[in-house]
Chain A
Amino acid sequence: MSSRQLGKVGWNALGLAVFVVMIFPVYWMVSTAFKTGPNIFSYSPKWLPIPATLANFGDAIHRQYFWQNVRNSLIVVVVVVTLSLALAFLAALALAKFRFYGRKAFIVITIAVLMVPLNALIIPLYITLSRVHEVNKLSGVIITYMTFVLPFAIWTLRGFILGVPRELEEAAMVDGTTRFGAFVRILLPLVAPGLVATSIFAFIQAWNEYIIAYVLLSSPEKQTLTVWLASFTTNRGTEWGPLMAGATLTAVPVVIFFLIVQRRIAFGLTAGAVRG
């Protein structure tokens, strides 16, 4: 073999090694979820889940509050995604298309807000929400999630809007739309990739979030799936099989969503970052 081919084989081998290392934990989780009890709790690990069983999944699903928690997570996610998209699109329009006093300040704030440690805000959030009796309610959680989705959404959509040639709106205005009409009929369809990227981000943030849901939602029937996972650990120890099954279930929607649109995400993120 030529040295170039040899080099290629070497790189590929390294690539495969990295692949194994990265994916192993994920594999281990899924495989444990399908294993029978004895295979989970054996001193020498069983690499493949044979015989495979769905018992762990059954256990997880039949836990009290599972379906309610699924429902809660879904509600939160759907509302957060739709509201955030709508508000962010409007705000991004303002920032991208108009000159007005305070514009640059708002842009800077938008980026700066991305940096505020959310965990730091738990305290005042909890106190504020408890004052208006919004604790232990999904609406409190929804509004909070929107806050950390909005800056990123506004920023990304602004980038996409700026990428659409101004002439297209002008042509629409000459053809007979109002300015806002041009935004909705022409601009909105053309920033679809940005909307997709933003909704992915919002979905993932809302679905995966833990600490705020943990603090704000105290009753089990109100909690989201991420908090639900904590219920597998009691002072008697952790039920690993069902936990892995529960974890797999929790991860599945995000992974599916992600796989569908992952190409567009990397594109969207770097379309912003490496502006040529």
Chain B
Amino acid sequence: MTVAESEVSLASRRRRRWSRHRVMGAVAPYALLAPAAVVLGAVLFYPLYLIARLSFEKYGLFELIRHQGKWIGLDNYTQIIHDGQFWRVLVRTIVFTAVNVSLTMVLGTAIALLLVKVSGVVRYMLTGALVFVWATPVVVAVDVWRWIVDPQFGILNWALTKVHAGDFFHHDWFVNPWSGFAVITGLVVWGAIPFVAITVFAGLSQVPGELIEAARIDGARSWNVFREVTFPLLKPIFVILASLSIIWDFQVFNQIWIMLDQRPSADYYLMSVYSFVESFRLSEYGLGSAIAVVMVLIMFAVTFVYIRQMVKAGEVR
């Protein structure tokens, strides 16, 4: 009847657990991960640890030469907490981020919707423009905008004077931090829109056409269709884009630094600039590190939201 049970020894009924095949299979993933993990560990995790440690040390020029910091506990943190400038910079950065992210998301989404509405040629042109802007290196973009807002020969002053918006003759946009930040916001948003617009546009094309048609038949008008059908479906994308935007805009450095000829006044400090100046200009690496640590912690909090969204969206399996 059955294959002779006596032939099947107990030993072979229980499979050999440690065959070479299986051991290699178990080791393989770690071996594959190792090179990347080593690089990340060396250049990311070690510096992360280091910056945490540095924030508890006094590390000036003297220490830099000696390659050795002096432990001072929480002194750096107390110093910055009691420093009015720290709070001003923090608030400024938060407001800056909020404004930029909102503008980017709203305008980016609006352009994505516009892309749906226009005819083929215009869509091609617009997408092309977006790609060009996306591809432009930040340093290049900053230099162009610097030229555009140049007090004497910048075209912006000329244009505003021409439309009688006021007297903009030789107007230096950066004397007043508010107008300076307006320019920088324009620059940042301009550079950030393409990514949002293109991603949202791609997402829109994945919304099933039948849903829109069903809503139309049910009587919804365009705005309602967007609010009730499209937006909810795209929410995961929006969350991801918003999170990324917050993270990037919070860390803006290049635009400030280069726009102001590497010599921004204190009114223009954002967190990353502040940290940089403290460290590399004033050679207070410990203090600069403390500021940076605060930035990192804030970033982690936002990241947490982002990761949770990714996990919920099923990306992390």
Contacts and interface: CB of A to CB of B under 8 A. Distances in A.
Main secondary structure of the interface of A (DSSP, over half): helix
Contacts of B130: 22
A267 interface: yes
B182 interface: no
Contacts of A146: 39, 43
A186 B196 CA distance: 34
A247 B26 CA distance: 51
B303 A276 contact: no
Interface string A250-276: 110011011100100011011011111
Contacts of B91: none
Interface string B9-35: 000000000000000011011101101
Nearest to A108: B307
Contacts of B295: 117, 119-120
Nearest to B208: A276
B80 interface: no
B316 to A, nearest CB: 5
Interface stretch (A11-19, A164-172, A189-197): A11-19
Contacts of A91: 32-33, 35-37
Contacts of A240: 147, 150, 153
Nearest to A88: B36
A123 B122 contact: no
Given A29-B147, A87-B35, A251-B135, A115 B140 contact: no
Contacts of B176: none
B193 interface: yes
Contacts of B114: 11, 14-15, 18
B131 to A, nearest CB: 5
Interface string A88-126: 101101110110100110111001111111111111111
Contact of B137 (A118, A162, A208, A262): A208
Contacts, number: 293
A67 interface: no
B50 interface: yes
Contact of B285 (A18, A123, A229): A123
Contact of B199 (A111, A150, A269): A269
A207 B26 CA distance: 38
A254 B137 contact: yes
A128 interface: yes
Contact of B253 (A29, A111, A211): A211
Interface of A: 8, 11-12, 14-16, 18-19, 22-23, 25-26, 28-29, 32, 40-45, 86-88, 90-91, 93-95, 97-98, 100, 103-104, 106-108, 111-128, 130-131, 143-144, 146-147, 150-151, 154, 162, 179-180, 204, 207-208, 210-211, 215, 226, 229-230, 232-233, 238, 240, 243-244, 247-248, 250-251, 254-255, 257-259, 262, 266-267, 269-270, 272-276
14 contacts: A15-B114, A15-B125, A91-B35, A115-B299, A121-B292, A123-B51, A127-B64, A208-B138, A208-B139, A230-B262, A250-B140, A254-B137, A270-B199, A274-B203
